[in-house]
Structure 1
Amino acid sequence: MTDHKMNTNRASIPHTVWPAESLPRLEREAADALGITLYELMQRAGLAAFTLARETYPASRRWLILCGTGNNGGDGYVVARLAQAAGIEVSLMALESEKPLPEEAQAARDAWLDAGGTIHAPDAAWPEGIEVIIDGLLGTGLRSAAREGIAALIEHANRHPAPVVALDIPSGLLAQTGATPGAVINAALTITFIALKPGLLTGKARDVVGALHHHALGLEGWLAGQEAPYNRFDDAQLADWLKPRRPTSNKGDHGKLLIIGGDHGTAGAIRMTGEAALRAGAGLVRILTRSDNIVPILAARPELMVQELTPQVLDDNLEWADVVVVGPGLGQQKWGKQALHKVENFRKPMLWDADALNLLAINPDKRHNRLLTPHPGEAARLLNTSVAEIESDRLLSAQRLVKQYGGTVVLKGAGTVIASHEGSLGIVDAGNAGMASGGMGDVLSGIIGALLAQQLPLYEAASAGCVAHGVAADKIAARQGTRGMLATDLFSTLVRVVNPDVIDPDHD
């Protein structure tokens, strides 16, 4: 499974995302509003899953269905009955519980038995020749690691060569956070029902979800009238953020961006930030850095303006700039600290990254004109906690950062989370493992800084910048794969991405 595979079905995935805890209420209210029963919704879910599995694996003739003790298991019983009716040889294993099944799941179980189906114990021997496994063990209500018996089934399924189709969510993946506290199904594909859950997009999701599909079960119209608290961002929204330029516009119309950083030995970081800003459309980009970085940066990219960072030069340029980006290669010594101290009082939009974040963790403050772009390690320092704690709930971590530091926060990683002090929260559905290399964060800072300079508000600039960054990397991965991707590889592709009104002749 690859990230590129994850993105192959995104056109039909909604841009609205709902908290896991709201899903039962959402389902009940939709059913009531439309005059249908929850059992009818279960029938629709089972049919959608069966249809997808049959279309994806048309030659398969032997399926194994794994059913849990909740409504996820009920979906599995429906799939089993439909598959058997279609002439597929079905084996079904079900977990047992002292508690009765939910009403809808019990009805689905009875229908399976009435159709001549058989239920095997979870410790029974697996039949030979299984070609597809349907995962209906655990649903979106899971809050902790799967218990031992279920974990054994999950691990058996992962060892088996047959592809796994997960119903609603891979068993063991937490629907709200994308965390995997214990054993988790490694699905080839996942079909999620009604609403999109955040845990399918962030955390460990990309490792286990496979190709993501969505089916609203006929509730599309009703859902369209509801206001979801989260958003999914992808390339489909770039044209909304990045409008064509007026033919008579000039460089001054597209912003004056000041970038500060590049201590000894880090000229590359600040140069990448500067070029990324130019490639993302900033009108004028000026870099303040160490004197020995000036010639190399100008030689690499003469369109940049570069000066030595001194107190007076900094004061003058803070007056000149529309937007400031500070942190790439800044270091944590006196030189960087003094510069950051002056930048703190800048009243226009600013972005803090890298060592600016590490220094902020030492002397925290709260500002609403500031955008922070931490990776999980920097986020852990900012919140005085561990990386594991940050990654256990990325949405909550981003919200905590905003509460403490203000402004807008970009919590980077697979499924980047963006949160604002106004309460907006989105998950970026773009990017791939090739971006796990040095300099990618410097490039992102330049892109977002450029969009701020072009007068996008903090949250929109962060959202558009992260999507453009990820989409550029996805286009490169589609051409050459993920291993060996460099941050500077993004530049030529980025130009096309930030001009969504232009038809791409390569169609990549």
Structure 2
Amino acid sequence: MNNLNQQKDRTSLPYSVWPVEAIAGLEREGADSQGITLFELMLRAGEAAFSLIRQLWPQAQHWMILCGYGNNGGDGFVIARLAQAAGLKVTLIAVDSDRALPEEANQARENWLAAGGVIHDASARWPESIALIVDALLGTGLNRSPDEPYTQLIEQANRHSAPVFSVDIPSGLVAANGTVPGVVIDAEHTLTFIALKPGLLTGKARDHVGKLHYHSLNLDLWLQGRPAPIARYDASHLTRWLPPRRATSHKGDHGRLLVIGGDHGTAGAIRMTAEAALRSGSGLVRVLTHIENVGPLLTARPELMVQELTTEALDAALEWADVIVIGPGLGQGSWGKKALKKVENSQKTMLWDADALNLLAISPDKRQNRIITPHPGEAARLLNVKVSDIESDRLLAVRRLAKRYGGVVVLKGAGTLIAGELDELAIADVGNAGMASGGMGDVLSGVIGSLAGQKLSLYDAACAGCVAHGAAADAVAQRRGTRGMLATDLFSELYLFVNPEISNTKE
């Protein structure tokens, strides 16, 4: 199934995300709130999965169910019993089937055996007639590479022509952060229970989760009273940040944005940032750049105010501006360093990106009036670690960045993360592979900077900017696909998302 189509309809998913270490407590408290046992909660999970599988593949008559040692495997035993009772052929393979299981999983296994079910070990030969594979091998507790025989079963499932349905999370994907330390199931559909886990939404998740489904196990009302520590945002949230403008508003009401950058040969970066700000609703945008860029920028986009970056021009512009964006095309030479040194002294709202971040990594400081927007390479330099360290735990990395540098941090990538120093954390559940091209970050800086100038808080500007930017890219991809997408292609769709009352009408 196409990844873009899998991402299209996620409105059925909750907008709260819970860290993995909280899940066991949620399960216990949720069961207690309804006066049921954890085994009865497992039965609900198995029934929900069975029902969804039947909807997705009504013609599949032979199911291969892979059960691990744990409660994820227990869900698999419940699914197997229900499928067999429905007249379907079931082949069940269980890892460590002779070992004592956790209480709930053991009860599910005993019920399967009592119903006449058969358990095969991991070395069993797979029948040729399998039409569907149910992955119930490894659940949300995984934090390392799977061992044998899990590795063998995962690889065999991935090689098989039958579609794979994962219970709670694809086996091998780390629920805490979306990393893949070893082999991992490539699911076509995944059904998760009770709460969304971060690893389903960020990191490598989109490569393996397929279409994500959710079931509360009938704990909806109880969950509504419990605020989650992580938010999931998509285009449906833009109305909360971007209400329609007053009919009598004027350009001065919508922010004076100063954009600084564009050294020799990098006029494109600063032009994209500045135009993105205009396209996102800034009232006035002034660009300070290298003198060779002034003419081309004014010709390309006459709505911009463009000047050579000099000490005098910078002093005046800093006094004039409501918000400052610095970094795109800035370079790391003396020209850029001098500009950044002066900007550092301003107390106005600012956004640092690109070379401003590389210079910040050399001379770190902490401030509350700044948004920083690193990609994983820049984040690694800011934390003095390897890129692999960033990608091995994106949630930890974004929290460390917020603590070290203050303000608000946007860690870009699949499942962009936004963190504030006061423990705010959100996942922007938008975007697609077409955004892996030059200039996308420059456009994002302009969008966020513009929204900050329109009187959003730093955190809200970062969240709304990431969502509008990613949603515009999704709209482009829906029309034209992901390969060959340009950063400036987003301008044709961005207006829909910074004016959400229009996009809601169109829908």
TM-score bracket relative to the smaller structure: over 0.9
What is aligned with 1:451? 451
Partner of 1:291: 291
Give the whole-Å Cα distance in 2 for the aligned partners of 1:254 and 1:506. 25
**Superimposed CA distance per residue, residues 72-101 of structure 1 (whole angstroms, 9 cap, x where no aligned partner):** 000001111111111211100001167521
Deviations 1:281-333 (A, max 9, x none): 11100000011101111111111110000011001100000000000000000
Q: Distance in 1 between matches of 2:327 and 2:424?
A: 25
Amino acid at match of 1:115: A
Structure 2, gaps ≥5 residues long: none
Letter paired with 1:69: Y
Q: 1-side partners of 2:56 and 2:358: how far apart?
A: 48
Q: Distance in 2 between matches of 1:52 and 1:34?
A: 23
Task: Output the amino acid matched with 1:355.
Answer: D
Q: Which residue of 2 aligns with 1:89?
A: 89
Indicate yes or no: 2:326 matched with 1:326: yes
Amino acid at match of 1:15: Y
1:129 to 2:92 alignment = no
Give secondary structure in 1 for the equivalent of 2:192: strand
SS of residue matched to 1:502:
helix
2:417 and 2:427 in contact (8 A); partners too: yes
Task: Measure the CA separation in 1 of the matches of 2:318 and 2:99.
Answer: 66
Map of 1:199-210 to 2, 5 A cutoff? 199-210=199-210
Alpha-carbon separation, structure 2, partners of 1:346 and 1:135: 55
**CA offsets 1:120-149 (integer angstroms, 9 cap, x no match):** 111100011211100000000111110021
Corresponding residue for 1:141?
Answer: 141
Give the whole-Å Cα distance in 2 for the aligned partners of 1:269 and 1:340: 17
Q: 1:11 to 1:172 in 2, by over 3 A?
A: same
Report what 2:73 is aligned to: 73
**How much has 1:8 moved relative to structure 2?**
3.5
Q: 1-side partners of 2:506 and 2:54: how far apart?
A: 33
SS at match of 1:214: strand
1:179 aligned residue: 179
Tell me how far 1:260 sits from its aligned partner.
0.1
Match of 1:107 in 2: 107
Q: Residue 421 of structure 1 corresponds to which residue in structure 2?
A: 421
Extract structure 1 runs of 4+ deviating beyond 2 A. Answer: 503-507
Task: After TM superposition, give the deviation of residue 2 of structure 1 in Å.
Answer: 3.8
CA-to-partner distance for each residue in 1:426-463, whole Å, 9 max, x for gaps? 11100000000000000000000000000100111000
How is 1:393-412 mapped onto 2 (pairs within 5 angstroms)? 393-412=393-412
Rounded to whole Å, the distance in 1 between the matches of 2:193 and 2:368 is 37
Residue 300 of structure 1 aligns with which residue?
300
Map 1:238-317 onto structure 2 (within 5 A). 238-317=238-317
Distance (whole Å) between structure 1 residues aligned to residue 260 and residue 53 of structure 2: 53
CA distance in 1, matches of 2:73, 2:98: 15
Unaligned runs of 5+ in 1: none
Kept after mapping to 2: 8 A contact 1:173/1:205: yes
Which residue of 2 is the match for residue 371 of structure 1? 371
What is the one-letter code of the residue matched to 2:181? P
SS for the counterpart of 1:325 is strand
In 1: Cα distance, 2:291 partner to 2:252 partner: 27
| C-alpha distance in structure 1 between counterparts of 2:443 and 2:146, whole Å | 40
- Structure 2 distance, partners of 1:12, 1:452, is 30
Q: Distance in 2 between matches of 1:2 and 1:394?
A: 25
Residue number in structure 2 paired with 1:460: 460
What does 1:195-234 align with in structure 2 at a 5 Å threshold?
Answer: 195-234=195-234
Structure 1 residues 458, 503: closer, same or farther in 2, change over 3 A?
closer
Normalised TM-score (structure 2): 0.99
Post-superposition shift, 1:6?
2.9
1:474 alignment partner in structure 2: 474
For residue 400 of structure 1, give the secondary structure of its aligned residue in structure 2.
Answer: helix
State the AA in 2 paired with 1:430.
Answer: V
Distance 1:99 1:155 in 2: 23
Letter in 2 for 1:399: R
Aligned equivalents of 2:58 and 2:128: distance in 1? 19
Give me the CA root mean square deviation: 1.0
Give the Å deviation of 1:502: 1.4
Change (3 A) 1:129 1:97: closer
Taking the aligned partners of 1:116 and 1:239, their CA distance within structure 2 comes to 55
The worse-fitting range, judged by mean Cα deviation, of 97-106 and 245-254 is: 97-106
Q: 1:199 to 1:503 in 2, by over 3 A?
A: closer
Structure 1 CA distance, aligned partners of 2:86 and 2:99? 32
Distance in 1 (alpha carbons) for counterparts of 2:500 and 2:490 = 16
Counterparts of 1:16 and 1:505 in 2: how far apart (Å)? Answer: 26
> TM-score, length-normalised on structure 1?
0.98
Give 3-state SS (helix, strand or coil) of 1:501's partner.
helix
Contact 2:497 2:503 in 1 (8 A): no
Quote the Cα distance in structure 2 between the aligned partners of 1:190 and 1:145: 20
How many residue pairs match? The answer is: 507
Q: Deviations over 1:254-274 (max 9, x none)?
A: 000000000010000000001
Residue aligning to 2:485: 485
Other-structure match for 2:440: 440
Question: % of aligned pairs identical?
Answer: 65
- Compute the displacement of 1:103 (Å): 1.0
CA distance in 1, matches of 2:117, 2:367: 62
Distance 2:47 2:475 in 1: 34
Following superposition, the deviation at residue 378 of structure 1 comes to 0.2
Give the 3-state SS of the residue equivalent to 2:10 in structure 1. helix
